Structure 1
Amino acid sequence: MQTILSFIVAILILVSLHELGHYSVARLCGVKVKRFSVGFGKPFYTKKRGDTEWCLAPVPLGGYVKMLDTREGDVAEADLPYAFDRQHPAKRIAIVAAGPLTNLILAVLLYGTVFSFGITEIRPYVGTVEQGSIAAQAGFQAGDKIRAVNGKSIDDWNAALTEMVLNLEAGAVTVAVETAEGSETVRTIEAAGTEAAGKIAKNNGGIGLWAFKITPKIAFVQENSAAERAGLKAGDTLLAADGKAISDWQQWAELFRNSPGKKLDITYNRGGETFKTALRPDSFEFSDGLLVGRAGLAPEHDQAWDKKVRRHYVPTIGEAFKMGWDKTAKYVVLTVKFIGKLITGNASAAHLSGPLTIADVAGKSASLGILSYLEFLAVVSISLGVLNLLPIPVLDGGHLVYYTAEWIRGKPLSERVQAVGLRIGMAVMLLMMLVAFFNDINRLFG
């Protein structure tokens, strides 16, 4: 229920403000707006204010603004000056562009609001490298500090991961690092076209790098788990299994996964004393028949390392909104670059997400608190704004192309050209929607 409500609220806010942008500029340009609808379908609530009918409709997946237009029916002689299609191309361009630009401005405001409550920066240090992962194959080591990815300077952990993941399909990814010993070297990720790279795109996964270090000290024991039955508690430190010392948490995780139903003699430390217990990981079978073990434990972070890589501070209001602007601009550029890579075949279409993934992320972000949810809204608002500016005829960007061409030529494009463009645009959007929906199904239920 939380996921559904979070998704509906997000769509209503983002789409309604998008349409409000169109509406506001249309009124400023002297265009008569006949209807402003929140939701699709037959309205269940209608209120007339001035010339505009304000409506609430039952399908909360969008909205629309209907302007007076001679192409959509007869218009009284007296109303012709207020029809959308009778306006100068510059006015029509302003009206159409207002929707996407409203989404981008909203993102700046949302980010600025979130940042004003405080920012936690994660420096680009490698804390953990997953065994057998793409990162491990590239030679990454715990303690590496990432300096640049494909020649682009990096000063933030998330930026480093984003650059690496989005460039996997384009060829070799070169990552300049400073090792724990202070020397400079380059780690090269060569995963284009591999099954591992495909899985990362399909499942929004990572390449096997984490900024934080984890220890064999237990932070959490799941209720009714194998670990709880064995008597293990939060604060215990795992030392050995079957008489073999194990100091790395990844080795513990691999041991538990590979031992479904198998008895393990565990040695652990509690309060400075050493104890022993028998732990038999629960068996869990995946849909493909793979059987793995689960102990029901979560490790504790290395607190000293956390202090090194994490920085929290509260900026001034001005600084927060300046950072909101910068964050929005960076995300716009990143989105445009990704679309370019998608068109040229240098990025996998598996990265596309549809409504199911958006709903899933909406619910998860809402569960983390209002600030996390606002940041989620900012990301989706940017995506909505950039997507609508693409020069595809059924989108705002396509209309901007038509009206710009009309302004330059002094006359509209022929109806035939516009009709062909509309059909092509609808085909492109339908294809994108089908791919995104397929990715959603594969990602969430595959």
Structure 2
Amino acid sequence: MNLLHTILAFVVALGTLVVVHELGHYWVARLCGVKVLRFSVGMGRVVWSRRFGRDQTEWAISILPLGGYVKMLDAREQDVADIDPADLNREFTRQSVWRRIAIVAAGPLANFILAILLFAGLYMHGIPEPVARLRAAEPQTLAYQVGVRGGETITAINGEAVHGWSDLRWKLMQLALEKTTARMDVERAGPAGSKRIDTIVLPLDSLSAKDLESDFLTRLGLSLARPPAILGKIMDGPAQRAGLQSGDLILDVNGVAVKDGLALVELIRASPGKQLELHGVRAGQDFRIALVPDTQEDNGKTIGRIKVEVPLAPEMTVISDGPLTAIAKGAQRTWDTSMLTFKMIGKMLTGQVSWKNITGPITIADYAGQTARIGLVSYLSFIAFISISLGVMNLLPIPVLDGGHLLYYSLEILTGRPVSERFGEIAQRAGLGILMTLMLVAAFNDIVRLMF
């Protein structure tokens, strides 16, 4: 069932992005007066088609589901000798270079517009987010060295407001790529329940390319605050037999302080069959209870269990905005994501970031399934990010992609004449080779992720 769910989520996401991209080309081509012969979702042999409109444009579904295309009246691809003279002026290559640029750029632009609209819709609807509150940092981490002790709420980074945990992660990722410093405004508890704002200076130049490929926040020592280790429902097992009760607050285990519920869970899981002495508070009174966690196999690992629920959900907030603010934030998020993607590509080319970050359809399908299972907000956010990636990818100056054609037309503007057919053929073959190489790298990375 999960596989079917993943496939369906992937098909819906990919189909939406392909249709939007090609509609961008189609609408602007029609606006510029170019005759469109076929609009295809998918590549290769046509398996279904119908003709509509004054031009009898063929709307088709093709056998290979990855991609799509808009076929226009084009002298480079077909003999126009027998074409009605009235249609010759609607042939693609006879259009001005600026019209050709508009038609080609419209596909990626449509993907960016879709992302803006999706983000704006999500911001207007309201996005549930964990509050940007920090867990106590380990002493050996950079976060501890600069003053993170736990319980701090990040309110701003380098003067920009932080609205939630993903916003915090996003801003730090951008600064980490630039290897610059983050000045974090943090809200801390003061005396008598008051609040105070301090500034923590966090240098990010120590992060390596390998760190950025993993959970770089953990590498820095920054993690999401969790609720205290207060016990929930007690089930039949070691906890119940030892006399633990719902509502007990666990302070330490075997003399080791327990900073939150997650730390308690991790400690118990790491102690199968070992005697543990729990020190806690119940109704204002200290207590000490000894117990031995049961031994259980979990995905090939031996773990300890005491059969008690421990709430781990972080404090949440809902981020929502009015229409104008939401559109502005959607546009800003789309721009920032696009620039970050271009920077990542540049760092891959210079060896600063691993090519392992290139993903293919298998990984995308997996993420589509995961986000769809989480909920509509996560799934639409995923589609927005993939739409941006598709737009950026198509703008790369690689022949056979939209960016390659834009490069040709830019050279035509600079030189005053179109690129030669010979140059175009060589570039086309080179571009196809580059594209095939990228696809092979993506497929290899997908298989490695699947296996390991």
The match for 1:108 among 116, 126, 148 is: 116
The gaps in structure 2 that reach 5 residues or longer are: 189-195
Amino acid at match of 2:322: T
1:332 aligns with 2:347: no
Note the alpha carbon deviations across 1:192-248, whole angstroms, 9 max, x for none: 44xxx6265157985342243332124688x99987998978755435545x36332
State the shift of 1:98 in Å: 0.7
User: CA–CA distance in 1 between the matches of 2:389 and 2:94?
Assistant: 31
State the shift of 1:388 in Å: 1.0
> Contact 2:112–2:334 at 8 Å: present in 1 too?
yes
The match for 1:259 among 262, 271, 288 is: 271
> Contact 2:248–2:282 at 8 Å: present in 1 too?
yes
Match of 1:56 in 2: 61
State the shift of 1:40 in Å: 2.8
> Contact 2:127–2:377 at 8 Å: present in 1 too?
no
Partner SS state of residue 46, structure 1: strand
The match for 1:312 among 303, 318, 321 is: 318
1:176 aligns with 2:188: no
State the shift of 1:376 in Å: 1.5
> Contact 1:213–1:301 at 8 Å: present in 2 too?
yes
After superposition, the CA RMSD in angstroms is 3.7
Q: Please give the residue correspondences for 1:18-167 in structure 2 after superposition, counting only pairs within 5 Å.
A: 18-50=21-53, 51-75=56-80, 76-78=82-84, 79-120=87-128, 124-129=132-137, 135=143, 140-144=148-152, 152-156=158-162, 157-165=165-173
Match of 2:442 in 1: 436
Q: 1:183 to 1:134 in 2, by over 3 A?
A: closer
1:278 aligns with 2:292: yes
Q: 1:402 to 1:11 in 2, by over 3 A?
A: same
Match of 2:192 in 1: none
Amino acid at match of 1:214: P
Partner SS state of residue 45, structure 2: coil
Q: 1:330 to 1:220 in 2, by over 3 A?
A: farther
State the shift of 1:31 in Å: 1.6
Amino acid at match of 1:109: L
Note the alpha carbon deviations across 1:95-152, whole angstroms, 9 max, x for none: 1011111111111111111111124566654234367667557764324565877xx5
State the shift of 1:186 in Å: 2.5
Match of 2:226 in 1: 213
> Contact 1:146–1:176 at 8 Å: present in 2 too?
no
Amino acid at match of 1:43: V
Amino acid at match of 1:401: L
> Contact 1:263–1:281 at 8 Å: present in 2 too?
no
Note the alpha carbon deviations across 1:241-278, whole angstroms, 9 max, x for none: 45x36332354344335334545455666777866543
The match for 1:187 among 202, 207, 211 is: 202
User: CA–CA distance in 2 between the matches of 1:137 and 1:229?
Assistant: 42
My pick for the range that moved more, 232-241 or 33-42, is: 232-241
Amino acid at match of 2:203: T
TM-score, normalised to structure 2's length? Answer: 0.80
Partner SS state of residue 43, structure 1: strand
Q: 1:205 to 1:140 in 2, by over 3 A?
A: closer
User: CA–CA distance in 2 between the matches of 1:165 and 1:361?
Assistant: 20
User: CA–CA distance in 1 between the matches of 2:239 and 2:19?
Assistant: 49
Partner SS state of residue 48, structure 1: strand
> Contact 1:212–1:301 at 8 Å: present in 2 too?
no
Q: 1:198 to 1:381 in 2, by over 3 A?
A: same
Amino acid at match of 2:14: I
Amino acid at match of 1:424: A
TM-score, normalised to structure 1's length? Answer: 0.81
